[in-house]
Structure 1
Amino acid sequence: MTRVAIKHFIIFSLVVLFLLVEYGHFIQKESKQFKVRKKFIPDSNHSSIYIYRAYYDDRSVKGTIRIFLLSKCFVSSDSFVLRYSGKAFPLSIQPLEGSCPWSWAHCEWNAHQLQSPKINGVIPKKVSITLNDHRQIEVEVARRPRVKKDRLQVCVPPLYWYHDWTRMILFFELWKKHSPSFIIYANSYSRNVEKVLKYYEKKGVVQIVNWPILERSDDRADPNLSVYRLSHSLAHNDCVMRMESEYGTLLDIDEYVHIPDNTTLIEFAKSEFTIDRKVGSLLFWHSGLKIMDDSLDGISGAVLVNATGPGKTLFKPDNVMFLSTHWVLSHSRYGLKRKKIPREEALLLHNRVRFRGDQLKDAIEEELTDLDLVDIQRNSKATAREIFGKELPQHNKNVSLVMDKCDASWRSLGCKVPLLHCKKELEESDQWVFLPSSKDSHYTLM
């Protein structure tokens, strides 16, 4: 062997030795990092994946398993396989916002769905999911509930830093006409809001789904710094899967669908879906609801204002494949369509903070007909006294002002993360309750 050959051999041997040592350290570190997970072999360059929930869906799509998760964007070479009882099925990957990254907000972490082909035979209670033939995890499979006819459920996206107990009481009292139940996703709210929610929860009309932040894995970047509004898109679509009602809608705490006669929303929806079988969802026009002050005394003087904004949707959960904030992004069957409802027939009332008082001086105001505001104000005040007693707590205006100011700069940050971006300004402004993971609402790290 020549001197040059010996030199090359020595260099090659040292490089191999170095790589073996480094790989050994990597394996050691990864085994600690993922010690709660069995059957993990570190191979993929893809970052952590947070599995939220798996459902067997025999309503929107007949007999498939759908898995919701949070992750950075996948590449075309990434592949998932679902296994159970010796069977293996490829899983399709779909961003819940329609694209990854989402064009509206370029956040690093996005919501996705994995979907299996049709499952025949016995429905598995647990399945194994594998990424690129290396990462593997076992998850439980929930069943979608059976439909209860002539029922309406309202989904409320994740609440965070939520403090406005007066507006929350008004929300529930306005909706009494339509007799819905509510699925409310919540990360954090004030002690006063907690009392209001517990009151309606005891009445059997509210189901609270805890919506925690993502746990940070060792030696990884914090995903919570780049998830749009606690991944509200994942919450939207999970809520559809939890619905047991024939009809559903997705609204914020400051929104209400008004039918300007004695018709209930269930009756209205039943008529619309019966008249045209190709209608998959309804769209309602937006209108501002202006209330003169922050107390419950301003309700009786509320008026409509010509404040523009996007509308909201009502749907049959069975017709929904993917749901976005304002409309059904994708229906479950080919040929189903959205129908815009004329303003004279129904209206989305938006009681936004900036519509209050004299902040809309030049807006055109319109009387709100066919809605007994005096009675709603009376009932709201009676409910508040039942919850808090004779001495009602003061409304904390500062939180709304700080939140609006903090939220205004989110575009310069690239991703709307108010829970963390506004923490310094808000954490001492009220007494806050942060909801932890729960048995039916938690993430599993893959």
Structure 2
Amino acid sequence: MLCVGKKSYFAAAVCIITVTSMLAVSYLRLQTLSHQPKIIQEGRRCRGKIANSTITALKGNKTFIISPYFDDRESKVTRLIGIVHHKDVTQLYCWFCCQHNGKMYVSKAKIDVHSDRFGFPYGAADIVCLEPENCDPTHVSIHQSPHGNIDQLPRFEIKNRKAETFSVDFTVCISAMFGNYNNVLQFIQSMEMYKILGVQKVVIYKNNCSHLMDKVLKFYTEEGTVEVIPWPINSHLRVSSEWYFMQDGTHIGYYGQITALNDCIYRNMERSKFVVLNDADEIILPLKHPNWKTMMNSLQEQNPGTGVFLFENHIFPETVSSGMFNISSWNTVPGVNILQHVYREPDRKDVINPRKMIVDPRKVIQTSVHSVLHAYGNSANVPMDVALIYHCRKALQRDLPRESLIRDTTLWRYNSSLIMNVNKVLSQTMLQAQK
């Protein structure tokens, strides 16, 4: 159609808009078609070695696969949680083998590098592929080409294929344990506080820790509370213990913490009603409710349609002691006794306290450390008079005199149960000193 005649500006504008719209629709249609699965082989058995490592490097293309997950919240896709070089990895393909008919499908992946890279060359990524119809593949292989022989490529089991009923209400995700972690006493106290507050499962991405800490992890694993995910990321990349890039030749920040958190959300999407994202030295303390279950019931009633609840972090310096709860049998156990630290730093002018989260995992698409990047539904900041994060660590405001700190004994509400439970764990792990 030609835009002729009266040559009016209006007609010309309509013409331009129409043509532009047609081109845009055509482009989007081509993009969609390019990502549709295509049959490339028929009448063959599914081959390839099943991957069983937490982190699997793909040869020669700066890509590391953690795990694939089935995701049908919008359309039927396989979403692989991975780590990629943000510039150099531009093209990947999912190879699906359908057991029931022997057909091999290839689907071009959408590579979505998370925005929170903090300057590092490698970052967390979602590698998303449309699944073939009438197949429900159980495994997927990843390759940089839609052609070739993939018999030697690793095959990854696609998790979350079957919807499950929730086996737990709360799962805590802790990432990543590194630096020969040896804060044993505080770790045990955190675990026991989580259990008092209603947690049934704690998932820990472990890079390394001390021998004593390993003993404690073994106890909690056998008890059924802890699931340890090996996290040997420094076998693949030069890792930084900082969260921001310092031009020091490292590849990824804070031992790949963001990747681990995203994997933990998808790993627990079908089995946990809520997922809690915090560190081992952080405890979300409810002020108006006895536990997390009643707190979250109340918060959900007040915030319908909300899937992300953010809690404000407050520092309780480990260098300032109340003098209370100096339990002699704990003195030989490495680590901090949180019951002794009930003085918190005041808010700083023009400084926003970071937050950690309790989320409905089925409403989260991508998360960072202090907020979600993409989600279905709303996020809500939880007021400090409802709950706060007790974070016992080194002081941030180091020059503050003791009288400038705020005495906050909320933690002591749980002291009887906490002391009894910690003593039980110490006795069973043979860490308690001889009386």
SS in 1 for 2:194: helix
Does residue 303 of the first structure (1) align with residue 342 of the second (2)?
yes
Whether contact under 8 Å (1:159, 1:189) holds in the other structure is: yes
1:192 to 200, 206, 212: 212
Residue 187 of structure 1: how far off its partner (Å)? 0.7
CA displacement 1:276-302 (0-9 Å, x = unmatched): 332120011121234546985754443
Alignment correspondent of 2:281: 254
For residues 235 and 135 of structure 2, what CA distance do their matches in structure 1 show?
Answer: 34
Match 1:325 to one of 369, 375, 379 = 369
1:122 to 119, 125, 135: 135
Q: Which residue of 1 aligns with 2:300?
A: 273
Provide the residue aligned with 1:143 in structure 2. Answer: 159
> One-letter code of the match for 2:135?
V
Q: 2:36 aligned with 1:54, yes or no? A: no
Query: Mapping of 1:165-180 within 5 angstroms?
Result: 165-180=184-199
- For the pair 1:65 / 2:68, whether they are aligned, the reply is no
Please give the per-residue CA displacement for 1:242-275, whole angstroms capped at 9, x wherever unaligned: 1111111111110001111443212222332244
- What do the CA deviations read for 1:226-257 (whole angstroms, capped 9, x no partner)? 22122111111110111111111111110001
In structure 1, list runs of 5 or more residues that go unmatched.
1-35, 38-44, 217-221, 393-446
Matched position secondary structure for 2:67 = strand
Q: Partner of 2:309 in structure 1?
A: 282
**How has the CA–CA distance of structure 1 residues 111 and 300 changed in structure 2, closer, same or farther, with 3 Å as cutoff?**
closer
Q: Which residue type is aligned with residue 345 of structure 1?
A: V
DSSP 3-state at the match of 1:182: strand
AA at the equivalent of 2:280: I
* Aligned-partner residue type, residue 93 of structure 1: I
Give distance in 2, aligned partners of 1:357 and 1:385. 36
Which residue number corresponds to residue 343 of structure 1?
A: 384
* Residues 61 and 350 of structure 1, relative CA distance in 2, 3 Å threshold: farther
Change (3 A) 1:377 1:111: same
Q: Name the CA shift for 1:234/1:134 in 2 (closer, same or farther; >3 Å).
A: farther
Of 176, 191, 205 in structure 1, the residue corresponding to residue 225 of structure 2 is 205
- 1:190-236 Cα distance to aligned partner (Å, 9 max, x none): 011111111222211111111113545xxxxx655422122111111
Cα distance in 1, alignment partners of residues 74 and 157 from structure 2: 16
Secondary structure at the residue paired with 2:296? helix
Q: Aligned residue for 1:314? A: 358
Q: Name whichever of 114-123 and 170-179 sits farther off.
A: 114-123
> Which structure carries more helix by proportion?
1
Cα gap change, 1:194/1:75 in structure 2, threshold over 3 Å: closer, same or farther? closer
List per-residue Cα deviations over 1:134-165 (Å, max 9, x = no partner): 68544223322624166100000010021110
**Map of 1:411 onto structure 2:** none
1:183 aligns with 2:203: yes
Q: Does the residue aligned with 1:312 lie in a helix, a strand or coil?
A: strand
Distance 2:124 2:408 in 1: 41
Give 1:237's aligned residue: 262
Provide the identity percentage: 19
Instruction: Supply the distance in 1 between the matched residues of 2:194 and 2:400 (Cα, whole angstroms).
Output: 26
Map Cα deviations across residues 45-71 of structure 1 (whole Å, 9 max, x no partner): 97432222212224x555310112222
Superposition RMSD in Å:
3.3
The residue identity in structure 1 corresponding to 2:360 is K
Q: In the aligned structure 1, how far is the partner of 2:130 from the partner of 2:61?
A: 26
Deviation at 1:390, TM superposition (A): 4.2
Q: Secondary structure at the match of 1:202?
A: helix
1:369 counterpart (395, 410, 426) = 410
Distance change in 2, residues 1:139/1:214 (3 Å): farther
Partners of 1:360 and 1:88 in 2: CA distance: 64
Q: Is the 8 A contact 1:300 1:377 kept in 2?
A: no
Higher relative contact order at CA 8 Å, sep ≥6: structure 1 or structure 2?
Answer: 1
Q: What SS class does the counterpart of residue 339 from structure 1 fall into?
A: strand
Secondary structure at the residue paired with 1:350? strand
Change (3 A) 1:203 1:123: same
TM-score, normalization by structure 2: 0.69
* Cα offsets for 1:306-328 (capped at 9, x unmatched): 35541101101101100111122
Q: In structure 2, how many angstroms separate the alpha carbons of the residues matched to 1:158 and 1:362?
A: 35
The answer to whether the 8 A contact 2:317-2:345 is kept is: no
Contact 1:57 1:143 in 2 (8 A): no
Aligned residues: 338
- Separation (CA, whole Å) in 1 of partners of 2:221 and 2:64: 29
Deviation at 1:77? Answer: 5.5
Check conservation: 2:84, 2:113, Cα contact below 8 A: no
Runs of 4+ in 1 over 6 A off after TM superposition: 355-360
- Say which of 348, 353, 356 aligns to 2:394: 353
* Letter paired with 1:50: F
Question: Could you tell me whether the CA contact under 8 Å between 1:109 and 1:223 is conserved in 2?
Answer: no
* AA matched with 2:296: A
2:78 pairs with 1:78: no
Distance, in Å, in 2 between the alignment partners of 1:167 and 1:82 is: 46
Gaps of 5+ in 2: 1-48, 51-58, 98-102, 240-249, 332-336, 348-352
